[in-house]
A and B are shown apart, each in its own frame.
Chain A
Protein backbone atom coordinates (compact mmCIF):
# COMPACT_ATOMS: atom_id res chain seq x y z
CA UNK A 1 0.00 0.00 0.00
CA UNK A 2 1.41 3.33 -1.13
CA UNK A 3 -0.83 5.76 0.65
CA UNK A 4 -4.46 6.48 1.42
CA UNK A 5 -6.32 7.75 -1.61
CA UNK A 6 -8.10 11.06 -1.21
CA UNK A 7 -10.69 12.36 -3.61
CA UNK A 8 -12.58 15.53 -4.25
CA UNK A 9 -14.57 16.90 -7.10
CA UNK A 10 -13.79 20.17 -8.82
CA UNK A 11 -16.08 22.07 -11.09
CA UNK A 12 -16.95 25.19 -12.97
CA UNK A 13 -19.98 27.18 -11.94
CA UNK A 14 -20.72 30.40 -13.84
CA UNK A 15 -17.16 30.50 -15.10
CA UNK A 16 -15.40 30.17 -11.72
CA UNK A 17 -13.35 27.14 -10.71
CA UNK A 18 -14.58 25.62 -7.42
CA UNK A 19 -13.94 22.48 -5.43
CA UNK A 20 -16.28 20.41 -3.27
CA UNK A 21 -19.45 21.48 -5.05
CA UNK A 22 -22.65 21.31 -3.04
CA UNK A 23 -25.97 20.14 -4.45
CA UNK A 24 -27.06 23.59 -5.62
CA UNK A 25 -23.76 24.23 -7.36
CA UNK A 26 -23.86 20.83 -9.07
CA UNK A 27 -27.43 21.35 -10.25
CA UNK A 28 -26.65 24.80 -11.67
CA UNK A 29 -27.11 24.71 -15.43
CA UNK A 30 -26.64 28.24 -16.77
CA UNK A 31 -23.32 29.49 -18.05
CA UNK A 32 -20.29 27.24 -18.32
CA UNK A 33 -20.49 24.23 -16.03
CA UNK A 34 -18.20 21.26 -15.50
CA UNK A 35 -17.88 18.43 -13.00
CA UNK A 36 -14.48 16.85 -12.46
CA UNK A 37 -14.10 14.06 -9.89
CA UNK A 38 -10.42 13.47 -9.10
CA UNK A 39 -8.75 10.91 -6.83
CA UNK A 40 -5.16 11.49 -5.80
CA UNK A 41 -2.34 9.81 -3.93
CA UNK A 42 -1.54 12.72 -1.60
CA UNK A 43 2.09 11.82 -0.87
CA UNK A 44 3.08 11.90 -4.55
CA UNK A 45 0.38 14.16 -5.95
CA UNK A 46 -0.35 11.59 -8.64
CA UNK A 47 -3.83 11.23 -10.11
CA UNK A 48 -5.44 7.81 -9.92
CA UNK A 49 -8.91 8.77 -11.14
CA UNK A 50 -9.96 11.55 -13.45
CA UNK A 51 -13.27 12.16 -15.16
CA UNK A 52 -14.87 15.24 -16.60
CA UNK A 53 -18.37 16.21 -17.71
CA UNK A 54 -19.11 19.67 -18.99
CA UNK A 55 -17.14 22.34 -20.77
CA UNK A 56 -13.78 23.63 -19.57
CA UNK A 57 -10.73 25.34 -21.06
CA UNK A 58 -7.32 23.76 -20.60
CA UNK A 59 -6.24 26.74 -18.47
CA UNK A 60 -9.14 26.22 -16.07
CA UNK A 61 -8.52 22.48 -16.01
CA UNK A 62 -4.96 23.13 -14.89
CA UNK A 63 -6.24 25.47 -12.19
CA UNK A 64 -8.83 22.89 -11.05
CA UNK A 65 -6.24 20.12 -10.72
CA UNK A 66 -3.95 22.41 -8.69
CA UNK A 67 -6.85 23.21 -6.35
CA UNK A 68 -7.70 19.52 -6.03
CA UNK A 69 -4.11 18.79 -5.06
CA UNK A 70 -4.23 21.24 -2.14
CA UNK A 71 -7.62 19.92 -1.04
CA UNK A 72 -6.50 16.28 -1.20
CA UNK A 73 -3.59 17.00 1.13
CA UNK A 74 -6.07 18.53 3.58
CA UNK A 75 -8.44 15.57 3.24
CA UNK A 76 -5.52 13.22 3.75
CA UNK A 77 -4.69 14.90 7.06
CA UNK A 78 -8.29 14.33 8.20
CA UNK A 79 -8.09 10.71 7.04
CA UNK A 80 -4.90 10.14 9.01
CA UNK A 81 -6.38 11.79 12.09
CA UNK A 82 -9.54 9.65 11.90
CA UNK A 83 -7.47 6.50 11.56
CA UNK A 84 -5.20 7.42 14.47
CA UNK A 85 -8.14 8.39 16.68
CA UNK A 86 -9.66 5.01 16.06
CA UNK A 87 -6.64 3.23 17.54
CA UNK A 88 -5.19 5.71 19.99
CA UNK A 89 -7.74 6.41 22.67
CA UNK A 90 -7.80 7.03 26.33
CA UNK A 91 -8.55 3.75 28.06
CA UNK A 92 -11.13 5.37 30.33
CA UNK A 93 -13.04 6.98 27.48
CA UNK A 94 -12.73 3.97 25.25
CA UNK A 95 -16.01 2.75 23.70
CA UNK A 96 -16.64 -0.94 23.43
CA UNK A 97 -16.09 -0.99 19.68
CA UNK A 98 -12.65 0.62 19.83
CA UNK A 99 -9.67 -1.65 20.23
Chain B
Protein backbone atom coordinates (compact mmCIF):
# COMPACT_ATOMS: atom_id res chain seq x y z
CA UNK B 1 0.00 0.00 0.00
CA UNK B 2 1.04 3.57 -0.76
CA UNK B 3 3.10 4.84 2.20
CA UNK B 4 1.82 8.40 1.89
CA UNK B 5 -1.79 7.25 1.99
CA UNK B 6 -1.04 5.05 4.98
CA UNK B 7 0.48 7.85 7.05
CA UNK B 8 -2.33 10.18 6.00
CA UNK B 9 -5.02 7.75 7.14
CA UNK B 10 -3.23 7.02 10.41
CA UNK B 11 -2.86 10.73 11.09
CA UNK B 12 -6.54 11.36 10.42
CA UNK B 13 -7.51 8.48 12.72
CA UNK B 14 -5.82 10.46 15.49
CA UNK B 15 -8.49 13.14 15.10
CA UNK B 16 -11.17 10.51 15.74
CA UNK B 17 -12.71 10.74 12.25
CA UNK B 18 -12.25 8.10 9.57
CA UNK B 19 -12.07 8.51 5.80
CA UNK B 20 -15.79 7.89 5.37
CA UNK B 21 -16.81 10.20 8.22
CA UNK B 22 -17.35 7.50 10.83
CA UNK B 23 -15.95 7.66 14.33
CA UNK B 24 -13.43 4.98 15.38
CA UNK B 25 -16.10 2.89 17.12
CA UNK B 26 -18.83 3.11 14.45
CA UNK B 27 -19.96 0.30 12.20
CA UNK B 28 -21.12 1.03 8.68
CA UNK B 29 -24.79 0.43 7.93
CA UNK B 30 -25.73 -3.21 8.55
CA UNK B 31 -28.60 -4.99 6.84
CA UNK B 32 -29.62 -8.57 7.57
CA UNK B 33 -32.01 -10.37 5.28
CA UNK B 34 -33.14 -13.87 6.19
CA UNK B 35 -34.49 -16.64 3.96
CA UNK B 36 -32.59 -15.69 0.79
CA UNK B 37 -32.17 -19.27 -0.43
CA UNK B 38 -35.09 -21.61 -0.99
CA UNK B 39 -32.95 -24.74 -1.15
CA UNK B 40 -31.13 -24.23 2.15
CA UNK B 41 -32.85 -25.04 5.44
CA UNK B 42 -31.83 -21.60 6.67
CA UNK B 43 -30.07 -18.67 5.04
CA UNK B 44 -29.18 -15.02 5.41
CA UNK B 45 -27.55 -12.20 3.50
CA UNK B 46 -25.57 -9.72 5.56
CA UNK B 47 -24.29 -6.40 4.30
CA UNK B 48 -21.93 -4.23 6.29
CA UNK B 49 -21.38 -1.20 4.10
CA UNK B 50 -20.19 -2.64 0.77
CA UNK B 51 -19.13 -5.94 2.32
CA UNK B 52 -21.61 -8.66 1.55
CA UNK B 53 -21.83 -12.33 2.55
CA UNK B 54 -24.43 -15.03 2.12
CA UNK B 55 -24.69 -17.84 4.63
CA UNK B 56 -26.59 -21.05 4.00
CA UNK B 57 -27.34 -23.83 6.47
CA UNK B 58 -27.94 -27.37 5.24
CA UNK B 59 -29.15 -30.22 7.45
CA UNK B 60 -28.58 -33.89 6.88
CA UNK B 61 -28.72 -37.06 8.94
CA UNK B 62 -25.32 -38.56 9.70
CA UNK B 63 -23.58 -40.95 12.07
CA UNK B 64 -22.36 -39.27 15.29
CA UNK B 65 -18.68 -39.26 16.27
CA UNK B 66 -17.94 -42.36 18.32
CA UNK B 67 -16.71 -40.33 21.32
CA UNK B 68 -19.88 -38.20 21.29
CA UNK B 69 -22.64 -40.67 20.39
CA UNK B 70 -25.50 -38.49 21.64
CA UNK B 71 -24.51 -35.18 20.04
CA UNK B 72 -25.31 -33.64 16.70
CA UNK B 73 -22.51 -32.21 14.55
CA UNK B 74 -21.95 -28.61 13.51
CA UNK B 75 -19.52 -27.70 10.72
CA UNK B 76 -18.60 -24.29 9.34
CA UNK B 77 -16.99 -23.66 5.97
CA UNK B 78 -16.05 -20.50 4.12
CA UNK B 79 -15.84 -19.91 0.40
CA UNK B 80 -14.07 -16.73 -0.64
CA UNK B 81 -15.40 -16.27 -4.15
CA UNK B 82 -12.84 -14.84 -6.55
CA UNK B 83 -15.40 -12.31 -7.76
CA UNK B 84 -15.65 -10.71 -4.32
CA UNK B 85 -12.09 -9.36 -4.12
CA UNK B 86 -9.09 -8.94 -6.45
CA UNK B 87 -7.08 -10.76 -3.79
CA UNK B 88 -9.16 -13.95 -3.78
CA UNK B 89 -8.32 -16.70 -6.22
CA UNK B 90 -10.29 -19.77 -7.16
CA UNK B 91 -8.83 -23.10 -6.20
CA UNK B 92 -8.12 -24.80 -2.89
CA UNK B 93 -9.09 -22.94 0.30
CA UNK B 94 -6.69 -20.20 1.35
CA UNK B 95 -5.35 -19.75 4.87
CA UNK B 96 -7.62 -16.73 5.24
CA UNK B 97 -10.75 -18.67 4.31
CA UNK B 98 -9.85 -21.40 6.81
CA UNK B 99 -9.26 -18.80 9.53
CA UNK B 100 -12.67 -17.19 8.94
CA UNK B 101 -14.37 -20.60 9.15
CA UNK B 102 -12.43 -21.56 12.29
CA UNK B 103 -13.12 -18.30 14.11
CA UNK B 104 -16.85 -18.42 13.27
CA UNK B 105 -17.02 -22.11 14.20
CA UNK B 106 -15.27 -21.54 17.51
CA UNK B 107 -17.69 -18.79 18.53
CA UNK B 108 -20.72 -21.00 17.88
CA UNK B 109 -19.17 -24.15 19.34
CA UNK B 110 -17.58 -22.76 22.51
CA UNK B 111 -20.59 -20.67 23.51
CA UNK B 112 -22.68 -23.87 23.25
CA UNK B 113 -25.04 -21.75 21.21
CA UNK B 114 -26.55 -24.83 19.57
CA UNK B 115 -27.80 -27.49 21.97
CA UNK B 116 -26.06 -30.39 20.19
CA UNK B 117 -27.70 -32.99 22.45
CA UNK B 118 -31.09 -31.90 21.12
CA UNK B 119 -29.83 -32.73 17.59
CA UNK B 120 -29.50 -36.41 18.44
CA UNK B 121 -32.09 -38.65 16.76
CA UNK B 122 -30.89 -42.15 17.78
CA UNK B 123 -27.84 -42.24 20.08
CA UNK B 124 -24.81 -43.83 18.42
CA UNK B 125 -26.62 -44.10 15.10
CA UNK B 126 -28.30 -40.98 13.80
CA UNK B 127 -27.82 -37.30 14.51
CA UNK B 128 -28.42 -34.08 12.62
CA UNK B 129 -25.37 -32.70 10.84
CA UNK B 130 -25.61 -28.92 10.55
CA UNK B 131 -23.40 -27.50 7.79
CA UNK B 132 -22.99 -23.75 7.80
CA UNK B 133 -21.57 -22.37 4.56
CA UNK B 134 -20.33 -18.81 4.37
CA UNK B 135 -19.92 -17.34 0.92
CA UNK B 136 -18.51 -13.90 0.20
CA UNK B 137 -20.09 -11.76 -2.50
CA UNK B 138 -18.07 -8.60 -1.96
CA UNK B 139 -15.15 -7.86 0.35
CA UNK B 140 -14.80 -4.30 1.53
CA UNK B 141 -13.30 -5.29 4.85
CA UNK B 142 -14.54 -6.96 8.03
CA UNK B 143 -15.57 -10.27 6.48
CA UNK B 144 -14.99 -11.86 9.91
CA UNK B 145 -17.78 -9.95 11.67
CA UNK B 146 -20.11 -10.28 8.67
CA UNK B 147 -19.55 -14.06 8.68
CA UNK B 148 -20.31 -14.40 12.38
CA UNK B 149 -23.45 -12.27 12.12
CA UNK B 150 -24.56 -14.09 8.96
CA UNK B 151 -24.01 -17.52 10.47
CA UNK B 152 -26.22 -16.69 13.45
CA UNK B 153 -28.93 -15.12 11.29
CA UNK B 154 -28.96 -18.20 9.03
CA UNK B 155 -29.10 -20.54 12.03
CA UNK B 156 -32.06 -18.55 13.40
CA UNK B 157 -33.75 -18.93 10.01
CA UNK B 158 -33.46 -22.75 9.96
CA UNK B 159 -36.62 -24.84 9.84
CA UNK B 160 -35.96 -28.56 10.14
CA UNK B 161 -36.98 -30.62 7.09
CA UNK B 162 -39.52 -33.42 7.37
CA UNK B 163 -38.20 -36.92 8.06
CA UNK B 164 -40.17 -39.76 6.46
CA UNK B 165 -39.13 -43.42 6.87
CA UNK B 166 -35.68 -42.34 8.06
CA UNK B 167 -35.16 -40.23 4.95
CA UNK B 168 -35.06 -36.47 4.84
CA UNK B 169 -37.67 -34.89 2.64
CA UNK B 170 -36.04 -31.58 1.78
CA UNK B 171 -39.10 -30.39 -0.10
CA UNK B 172 -41.14 -30.09 3.08
CA UNK B 173 -40.07 -28.04 6.05
CA UNK B 174 -41.53 -28.43 9.52
CA UNK B 175 -42.08 -25.55 11.99
CA UNK B 176 -39.28 -26.84 14.19
CA UNK B 177 -36.36 -24.49 14.71
CA UNK B 178 -32.77 -25.23 15.69
CA UNK B 179 -32.18 -25.32 19.46
CA UNK B 180 -30.31 -21.98 19.69
CA UNK B 181 -29.55 -21.07 23.28
CA UNK B 182 -27.18 -18.13 22.89
CA UNK B 183 -26.19 -15.44 20.41
CA UNK B 184 -22.37 -15.27 20.36
CA UNK B 185 -21.32 -12.19 18.37
CA UNK B 186 -17.83 -11.77 16.97
CA UNK B 187 -16.39 -8.26 16.93
CA UNK B 188 -12.99 -7.64 15.39
CA UNK B 189 -10.98 -4.77 16.83
CA UNK B 190 -7.98 -3.45 14.88
CA UNK B 191 -5.01 -1.62 16.26
CA UNK B 192 -3.74 1.04 13.89
CA UNK B 193 -0.92 3.10 15.36
CA UNK B 194 -2.21 3.91 18.83
CA UNK B 195 -5.86 3.80 17.88
CA UNK B 196 -8.43 1.03 18.07
CA UNK B 197 -11.09 0.76 15.39
CA UNK B 198 -13.97 -1.58 14.60
CA UNK B 199 -15.50 -2.53 11.25
CA UNK B 200 -12.50 -1.71 9.05
CA UNK B 201 -12.80 -1.13 5.32
CA UNK B 202 -10.39 -3.03 3.04
CA UNK B 203 -8.02 -0.06 3.07
CA UNK B 204 -8.02 0.19 6.84
CA UNK B 205 -7.45 -3.57 7.12
CA UNK B 206 -4.31 -3.25 5.01
CA UNK B 207 -2.73 -0.66 7.29
CA UNK B 208 -3.66 -2.25 10.61
CA UNK B 209 -0.81 -3.49 12.79
CA UNK B 210 -2.78 -6.21 14.54
CA UNK B 211 -6.31 -7.43 15.01
CA UNK B 212 -8.16 -9.30 17.70
CA UNK B 213 -11.50 -10.98 17.09
CA UNK B 214 -13.44 -11.43 20.31
CA UNK B 215 -16.71 -13.36 20.39
CA UNK B 216 -18.89 -12.60 23.38
CA UNK B 217 -22.31 -13.60 24.65
CA UNK B 218 -25.35 -11.89 26.18
CA UNK B 219 -23.90 -12.09 29.71
CA UNK B 220 -20.68 -10.34 28.67
CA UNK B 221 -18.58 -13.50 28.89
CA UNK B 222 -16.08 -14.18 26.13
CA UNK B 223 -16.33 -17.50 24.28
CA UNK B 224 -13.62 -17.19 21.60
CA UNK B 225 -10.64 -15.06 20.69
CA UNK B 226 -8.23 -14.97 17.80
CA UNK B 227 -5.34 -12.62 17.26
CA UNK B 228 -4.14 -11.76 13.79
CA UNK B 229 -1.69 -9.34 12.22
CA UNK B 230 2.08 -9.18 12.51
CA UNK B 231 2.49 -6.67 15.34
CA UNK B 232 2.44 -7.50 19.03
CA UNK B 233 -0.13 -6.14 21.45
CA UNK B 234 0.23 -5.43 25.13
CA UNK B 235 -1.92 -6.81 27.93
CA UNK B 236 -3.47 -3.33 28.27
CA UNK B 237 -4.33 -3.37 24.56
CA UNK B 238 -6.12 -6.71 25.03
CA UNK B 239 -8.16 -5.23 27.88
CA UNK B 240 -9.21 -2.22 25.80
CA UNK B 241 -10.02 -4.37 22.78
CA UNK B 242 -12.12 -6.78 24.86
CA UNK B 243 -14.02 -3.89 26.46
CA UNK B 244 -14.79 -2.34 23.07
CA UNK B 245 -15.85 -5.61 21.46
CA UNK B 246 -18.24 -6.53 24.28
CA UNK B 247 -19.84 -3.08 23.96
CA UNK B 248 -20.24 -3.39 20.19
CA UNK B 249 -21.48 -7.00 20.33
CA UNK B 250 -24.47 -5.86 22.41
CA UNK B 251 -25.34 -3.39 19.62
CA UNK B 252 -25.00 -6.03 16.90
CA UNK B 253 -27.02 -8.57 18.89
CA UNK B 254 -30.01 -6.21 18.86
CA UNK B 255 -30.12 -6.59 15.07
CA UNK B 256 -30.75 -10.32 15.48
CA UNK B 257 -33.43 -10.12 18.16
Please give the residue numbers on chain A whose beta carbons come within 8 Å of chain B beta carbons, in ascending order. Answer: 36, 41, 44-58, 61-62, 65-66, 69
Contact = CB atoms under 8 A, between A and B. Distances in A.
Contacts of B246: 58
Given A46-B232, A47-B233, A58 B225 contact: no
B134 interface: no
A55 B227 contact: no
A52 B224 contact: yes
A45 B235 contact: yes
A83 B245 CA distance: 40
Contacts of A56: 221-222
Given A50-B212, A50-B227, A55-B223, 13 more contacts: A44-B232, A46-B233, A46-B234, A47-B232, A47-B238, A50-B226, A50-B233, A52-B225, A54-B110, A55-B110, A56-B221, A57-B220, A61-B222
A41 B224 CA distance: 23
A52 B111 CA distance: 12
Interface residues of B, number: 23
B235 A54 contact: no
Interface of B: 106, 110-111, 212, 217, 220-227, 232-235, 237-239, 242-243, 246
A66 B235 contact: yes
A49 B217 CA distance: 23
A47 B111 CA distance: 24
Q: Interface on chain B toward A: helix, strand, loop, or mixed SS?
A: mixed
A72 to B, nearest CB: 11
A65 B232 CA distance: 14
Contacts of A53: 106, 110, 224
A41 B83 CA distance: 39
Given A55-B111, A58-B239, A49 B222 contact: no
Nearest to B234: A46
Nearest to A32: B221
Q: Taking each of A36, A58, A69, which has the highest tally of chain B beta carbons within 10 Å of its own beta carbon?
A: A58
Contacts of B106: 53
